[in-house]
Amino acid sequence: MWLERCVACGDCRIGLTGGICPVVRCSKSLMNGPCGGSHDGLCEVKRGDQEIECAWALIHDRLKEQGREQLLLEIRPPKDWSLSSSGGPRKMVKEEAKPV
């Protein structure tokens, strides 16, 4: 049996962001939309010479495509970062079957 767990933040809001995790995809892990450093869907942060897509532009486009764009207008309480456990993006756990 395989079990996969996301342990990035402990307070998952991926259902509100069109299946795109801002903690992982945003270069600054922003939870409240783009920082103002994005332009034409690209982040001001670069990986070497490689451009990085703005996570919040991706989230906006995905929610618009899903007809759920209104989710971006809803005011939500602050994220509870105290729930974060190990800080890694994923943890895989494998249970070995016991011989009968």
CA distance 97 to 21: 33
Contact 84, 10 (CB under 8 A): yes
As averages over each run of 10 residues, the pLDDT of the chain (100 residues) reads 58 88 86 89 92 94 96 89 61 70
Q: What is the pLDDT of residue 88?
A: 45
